[in-house]
Amino acid sequence: MSNSAARADGRRADQLRAVTFEPNIAPYATGSVLVSFGLTRVICAATIEPNVPTWMKQQRVPGGWLTAEYSMLPYSTLDRKPREIARGKPDGRNIEIQRLIGRSLRAVIDLNKLGQNTLWLDCDVLQADGGTRTASITGAYLAARLAVQKLLDAKKIAENPLTDSVAAVSVGVFGGHELLDLNYVEDKDAAVDANIVMTGRGQFVEVQASGEETTFSREQLDSLIALAQNGLKELASLQAVFLMKHLL
């Protein structure tokens, strides 16, 4: 299958959108980042609460906890998206994505080293153009790392509990071509759509892949994963450059 297509936005098939990270976008959070994957923009805020969930206390589970919440602001899409409170029920897609964000970050944190603290990760989509979950995971790691550094600097914890970085990217088959980092137009009409979460050391956290009214072969899946890996290595490098600048 070809992966040499030129795309509507001028990118190569194997090219990420422009990726940027802006720190301290939410000053009252312990750590925060505005992450942009092209036109997709997400505020990722990490807040550290000096407490743990009741179930951990009842079961005497040592260490701390990490959890995530995700939402799309009403004006983040072309058609206004009603708030969950106005709909009177939780949005199933939001719940799925926030669980994915939580799993992804828990894969790279030693909760025992976090102490009796809860690390909350709030990801709020300002503008959606595909890949909001992958941008959220990529930015949430950076917000968490900034927040953890404040705990370390204040000597509230002895060691960095984050064991590795983590990032995510989408890949898919659109118009017969394998593409990296799908925007909305590509994502909504993709024949195959996948989201890949990987650590900085190259270990997979999660692989989500599905055919949209079609099937795909093992060879296609392997090819898409390889395409994602290259993009994820680039994202890990961008994360490292950001942290070198902002953790000085």
pLDDT in tens, 38-94: 999 999 999 999 999 999 999 989 999 999 999 988 889 888 888 777 677 777 888
Q: What is the DSSP string of the chain?
A: -B-----TTS--TT-PPPEEEEE-SSTTSSEEEEEEETTEEEEEEEEEES---HHHHHTT--S-EEEEEEEE-GGGSSS----HHHHTS--HHHHHHHHHHHHHHHTTB-TTTT-S-EEEEEEEEEE-SS-HHHHHHHHHHHHHHHHHHHHHHTTSSSS--B-S-EEEEEEEEETTEEEES--HHHHHT-SEEEEEEEETTS-EEEEEEEESSS---HHHHHHHHHHHHHHHHHHHHHHHHHHHHH--
pLDDT band for position 4 (cuts 50, 70, 90)? low
Average pLDDT, the chain: 93
In a domain, 40, yes or no: yes
Matching residue, tokens 């102490």: 115
pLDDT digits (tens, 9 = 90+) for 160-195: 999 999 999 999 999 999 999 999 999 999 999 999
In a domain, 12, yes or no: no
pLDDT digits (tens, 9 = 90+) for 197-244: 999 999 999 999 999 879 999 999 999 999 999 999 999 999 999 999
pLDDT band for position 31 (cuts 50, 70, 90)? very high
Name the residue range of residue 163's domain. Answer: 19-246
SS (H, E, C) 72-121: ECHHHCCCCCCCHHHHCCCCHHHHHHHHHHHHHHHCCECCCCCCCCEEEE
In a domain, 10, yes or no: no
In a domain, 229, yes or no: yes
pTM: 0.94
pLDDT at 74: 84
Give me the CATH number covering residue 139.
3.30.230.70
In a domain, 8, yes or no: no
pLDDT at 91: 79
In a domain, 9, yes or no: no
In a domain, 231, yes or no: yes
pLDDT at 106: 97
Domain count, the chain: 1
In a domain, 32, yes or no: yes
Question: Does residue 177 contact residue 5 with C-beta atoms inside 8 Å?
Answer: yes
pLDDT at 124: 96
